[in-house]
Structure 1
Amino acid sequence: MKLKYTSIILSGTLLLLLASCKKELVKVNVNPNATQNPQPDYLLTGVIKNMADTYWGVEDNMGSSLLFVQNWSKIQYTDPDRYIFTNASFQGLWTTAYTKGVINLNQIIKLADAQANPNYKGVALVLRSWVFTLLTDQYGDVPYKQSINIDQYLTPAYDAQRDVYFALLDDLKAAQSSLDPSGKAILGDAIYSGNIASWKKFANSLRLRIALRIADREPDKAKQVLADIQAEGSGYISSNSEIAQLVYVDSPNQNPISNLFDTRDDYRISKTIVDQLFALNDPRLPVYATPTQDATPQTYVGVPNGLLVGDASSLGLTKTSKPGAYFRAPHAPAVIISYAEVLFDQAEAVARGFIAGNAADFYNQAVTASLQQYGIGNTAISTYINSAAVKYDASNYKKSIGNQKWIALFGQGLEAFAEWRRLDYPQLQPAVAGTLNGKIPVRFIYPGTEQSLNGASYKAAVANQGADVLTTKLWFDVN
C-alpha cells in the first residue's frame, strides 16, 4: 500500500514538472523582437515595402519579366535572358506574396474588425487583391480560398485562374464598401499617406485592370464590372499626382534597382526597345537609357536579348547603355498603377464597347500622361502624338494600345509581361540564343517547394492547367 501511494506521489510530481517545463519552453520560444500585439499601421508599412521590393526587384522584375518583354537585357551571366531557369528561380514572388503579403494583410483585416476601423480593412483588401493579381498573372492557378485561411489549410488547394480573378473582383467591390473618406484615419500608409479617397480610386483602377485581363474570356463579366464602377462613382486614378506607387528613400531603403547597380553591372537596356524609341523619335529615350560611357555613333546602344556570354561580353560594358539614371536613382518610385495605364485601359474599354467615350481621345491622353510622368514638355508631346507612327489606329486597337502601353510600362516588368501576353503587341522576336525552340516564356513555373511541401495540390493544378513549363499558356492568354 505504501509503495502504491509513493508511486502516485511520484507521478503527480512528474506531471507538475512537465507542466512547468512546458511553460518555460513556451517562454523560451517567444521571439523577443516580435510584438505580441501587432499594430495595423506597422503591418501595413511592412507589406507595402516588402511587396514593392519584390515587384520592382531583381528576381521577378530585372532577372525575368523585364527580359521576357525586352525592356532590359543581360550583358553578363546571360542564362536568364536565354530562358534558362530552375524550379527555384521564381521562388521570390511566391514566398514573399504569401508569407509577407497575404498573411499580414489577413491580420490587418482581423485587427480592423476588432478595432472597428473599416478603412484598414478596405486598404488591406485592395493590397491583397493586387498581390493575388501578381501571383495568378504569372503562375496561373494559385491557392486563393484556402490560403486566406492558412491556419486551417496548411496545404492549400489551388484555385483556377478564372475563379481567382472573379474572387478578386468581389474583394475589390467589398473594399469599396469599407473605404470611407469621412471614417476613421489610418496610419502606416506609405502610398497615399492615409488619403482614403485615393485608395478608392486605386481600387477602381485595379478593378479596371482585372476586368480587361478577363475580357477575352468573359466579356459580359468585364462589362458588368465597369458598369458597377461607374455606378459606384469614386472614379479612377485621374492624374500623375495620384499614381499608386512607393517612393523610396535613402539607403538601406532605396529602390532595389539602385541597390543592385551599386554593386553589379550586368544589365543593359534591350536593343528591342531602343530601336523602337529611335524609330518613333520618342522623347523618353534619354530617360529610359543612359548614354554609353565611351562615345558611340548612336549615343544609346541596346543589347540584343539572349546572347551567349561571349557574344554579349564582346559588345563591351562601356559601349552599351545601362537603363536610365531615373530608374537607377535611390528615390526612384516603384509604380503599381500609373495614370497612363488607367487611360490606356479606358481607351481599350471604349474600343471593346464596354464603356462610352472616344478611344482615340483616351489613347492620346494616355500617351501624354506617360510623357508627362517623365517630365517631357508640351511641345515635344504635341509633336510626338501627332506623328503618323504614333496616331491611334481604330482598325487595330490592340496594336496601337499594346505598343504604346509596352513603352509606358517600362520598368514594370510583371505588369508589362501580363499585358504583352494579353494584347499580343508588340510582336517580339525570341531571344537570340533562346532555349525554348523559338518561343518566349508565357508564365512563371511553380517554385520547387510546392512539389515537395504541397504535392497533391500542385499535381492537381498541373493536371488542370497544363504542364508546369514556361511555354504553357494561362487561361487569360487567349491568342
Structure 2
Amino acid sequence: MKNNFIYILILFAVLSGSCSKELDEVNINPNATENAQPDYLLTAAIKNTTDAYWGTTNNMNSSLLFAQHWAKIQYTEEDRFIYSNSSFTSLWSTLYSQSINGFNKIIEIGNSTSNSNYIGVALTLRSWSFLLLTDAYGDIPYTQAGKLNEFITPKYDKQRDVYFGLLDDLKAAKIALDPAGKSIAGDIIYNGNITRWKKFANALRLRIALRIADKEPAKAKQVLDEIKADGDAYFSDNTDIAQLIYQISPQQNPVSAQFDTRDDYRISKTIVDKLFTLNDPRLPIFASKTQTATPEEYVGVPNGLTNSEASNLGFAKTSKPGVYFLAPQSPAVIYSYAELLFNRAEAAARGLTTEDASLLYRQAITASLKQYGISDALVTNYLSQSAVQYDATNYKKSIGEQKWISLFGQGLEAWTEQRRLDYPKLTVSVNTVLNGQIPVRFIYPGTEQSLNAQSYRDAVASQGADLLTTKLWFDAF
C-alpha cells in the first residue's frame, strides 16, 4: 500500500468532487470507477494533508521562519515577511479541495458499509485538517465546508465556534473508533491500529482544550474531565507518535525533496544559540556541521537578513538542518508523545487537572530526547541543569521554551504554540517589514476575494483586517 502513492494520488484526483452539482452530473469519466475505495482514498488524503503540513509553502517558507527554527540563506524575502495574497493558497486549497473532501467521502463509505472505524479515522483526520486551517487563518469555512452540492460559497465560522465544533467531532470520532470492530486498510499512520487512533483523537482534544484555555477555561476543563471520566487513554510512549514515515524518491519527505534541487534554507541562529546555551544533545540532530570547518561546527543564520547579508555569510560556513531531517524517509511528525506530555503538564499547571506538572514536564523533555535516540546518561545530565528546571511561577516560559525545541521541524505547530504561550521571546530583524512584529496569522488566499467575496468580507468585518499582524481569537496575550 505504501508504495502505491502515485496510483493512489491519480485515483484520488479522479474521484474528487467537482465544483457544482451540475458538473458532477455531466463530467462523468466512463473509465473511472463509480465506487470509491476507502483504502485508496485514505492513503491519498493522509499523504496530501501531510505534504501540505510538512512541505515548502506552509512549513519551510513561512511557519518555520516565523518560529525561528529555520532561516533563509538566499531569496530572503519571506524571512523578511514579504508576502502577497497568493503566498498562502497552498494550505487552504489542498486541505479544502483534497483533504476535507476526501475524508468526507470516507465517512460516507463508512456509513454505507457500517464500518465505524473508517468514520472515526476520517473524522479524526478531518478535525486535524480544520485545526491546521483555523490555527493559521482564524475564521474559516467549517459548518458549510465540503458540502459542494449545497454551498458553493460557504460562510466563515468564528474561530471559537470552529474549535468547539472540532471538540464535538473528535468526541464523536472517539466513540466511533472500536478496536473490536471492522478492520480498515490504507492507514499509513497507524497501520489499522484503532487503539492508537483513539489515543490520537483524545490527544487532539487535549490540544484544542489548551487552544481555548485562555478564553474559555471552563470549557477546556470540561473537555479534560470528560476524557478522564470516560477512562480514555492518551499516548503512552514514543511508539504512539502520530507520524507519516515517507518512502524513497519520488515519495520522499518534502524536506528531502526540497534539498535535492535547491539550497535556500539553513537552521536559525535563534535555536542554535539556545541549544548551545543548554548544551542540548539534540543540536547535532537538528543541525548539520558546516561544510567548511568552523570553530563552532554548527552555525545558524540570523532570521531576516537581506539577500546581500545572507550571501556574505556563505553557504559552506552555515549549517543546514540535520541529516535526520534531510533523509528521504524522515518522518513527518503530526503529534508526538513529547507534545502530549507538555500539554498534560500545562493542563496541570493551569489547574485543569490534578496531575503533577513538574513531573510531566520532565517526562516530556525525556520523551523528546528519547525520540531522537539520546542516551539515558545524556538525558539525566540535561535534566539536571538549572536552566532546564521547571519554574512553577512561570510555567508558560518553562513549557513554552522546551516545547518550542521539541517541536523542531513542525513549523505550523511550533508557530501556533509560540503565539499562544508567548515563549520563547523572539526578536526580529530591522530588515523585516512588519514594524518589529512576527506574523500572527496567514492572510486569506486572494481567490477568496473573487470567488467567495461576501463570506470573505463578513469574515474580515468580524475578525479584523486581513493582515499578517491581526491577532486571532485564541491568541489572548
Q: Shorter-chain-normalised TM-score: which range?
A: over 0.9
Give 1:46's aligned residue: 44
Give matches, 1:68-79, under 5 Å.
68-79=66-77
Give 1:418's aligned residue: 416
Give 1:145's aligned residue: 143
Q: Check the 8 A contact 1:402/1:420 in 2, yes or no.
A: yes
Q: Check the 8 A contact 2:401/2:423 in 1, yes or no.
A: yes
Give 1:405's aligned residue: 403
Q: Check the 8 A contact 1:202/1:237 in 2, yes or no.
A: yes
- Taking a change above 3 Å as real, the CA distance of residues 250 and 34 of structure 1, as seen in their structure-2 partners, is farther
Give matches, 1:194-273, under 5 Å.
194-273=192-271
Q: Check the 8 A contact 2:96/2:146 in 1, yes or no.
A: no
* TM-score (structure 2 length as normaliser): 0.94
The whole-number CA distance in structure 1 between the counterparts of 2:371 and 2:324 is 11
Cα displacement (A) at 1:29: 4.5
Q: Check the 8 A contact 1:81/1:431 in 2, yes or no.
A: no
Moved more, 135-144 or 29-38: 29-38
Q: Check the 8 A contact 1:102/1:128 in 2, yes or no.
A: yes
Match of 1:330 among 321, 328, 331: 328
Cα displacement (A) at 1:356: 1.0
Match of 1:357 among 355, 358, 361: 355
What does the per-residue CA deviation read over 1:167-198, in whole Å, with 9 as the maximum and x for residues that have no partner? 00000000111000000000000000000000
The whole-number CA distance in structure 1 between the counterparts of 2:26 and 2:339 is 51
The whole-number CA distance in structure 1 between the counterparts of 2:466 and 2:30 is 41
Match of 1:94 among 89, 92, 95: 92
Give the total of aligned pairs.
455
Cα displacement (A) at 1:297: 1.0
Q: Check the 8 A contact 2:214/2:476 in 1, yes or no.
A: yes
What does the per-residue CA deviation read over 1:4-60, in whole Å, with 9 as the maximum and x for residues that have no partner? xxxxxxxxxxxxxxxxxxxxx999953366432111111100010001111000000
Give 1:136's aligned residue: 134
Give matches, 1:56-455, under 5 Å.
56-455=54-453
**What is the identity, as a one-letter code, of the residue corresponding to 2:298?**
Y
Q: Check the 8 A contact 2:290/2:317 in 1, yes or no.
A: yes
What does the per-residue CA deviation read over 1:66-113, in whole Å, with 9 as the maximum and x for residues that have no partner? 000100000000000000001010000000000111111111111100
SS at match of 2:293: coil
Q: Check the 8 A contact 2:139/2:459 in 1, yes or no.
A: yes
The whole-number CA distance in structure 2 between the counterparts of 1:297 and 1:38 is 58
What does the per-residue CA deviation read over 1:293-324, in whole Å, with 9 as the maximum and x for residues that have no partner? 00111000000001000000100000000000
**What is the identity, as a one-letter code, of the residue corresponding to 1:433?**
N
Cα displacement (A) at 1:206: 0.4
The whole-number CA distance in structure 1 between the counterparts of 2:383 and 2:121 is 36
**What is the identity, as a one-letter code, of the residue corresponding to 2:179?**
P
Cα displacement (A) at 1:459: 0.2
**Aligned sequence identity (%):** 65
Moved more, 33-42 or 353-362: 33-42
- Taking a change above 3 Å as real, the CA distance of residues 210 and 26 of structure 1, as seen in their structure-2 partners, is closer
- Taking a change above 3 Å as real, the CA distance of residues 297 and 221 of structure 1, as seen in their structure-2 partners, is same
Cα displacement (A) at 1:234: 2.5
Cα displacement (A) at 1:343: 0.1
**What is the identity, as a one-letter code, of the residue corresponding to 2:294?**
T
The whole-number CA distance in structure 1 between the counterparts of 2:90 and 2:264 is 20
The whole-number CA distance in structure 2 between the counterparts of 1:153 and 1:318 is 53
Cα displacement (A) at 1:431: 3.1
List alignment gaps of at least 5 residues for structure 2: 1-22
The whole-number CA distance in structure 2 between the counterparts of 1:343 and 1:221 is 20
Greater CA radius of gyration, 1 or 2?
Answer: 1
Cα displacement (A) at 1:151: 1.7
SS at match of 2:388: coil
List alignment gaps of at least 5 residues for structure 1: 1-24
What's the C-alpha RMSD, in Å, of the aligned pairs?
1.2
The whole-number CA distance in structure 2 between the counterparts of 1:325 and 1:132 is 31
SS at match of 2:399: helix
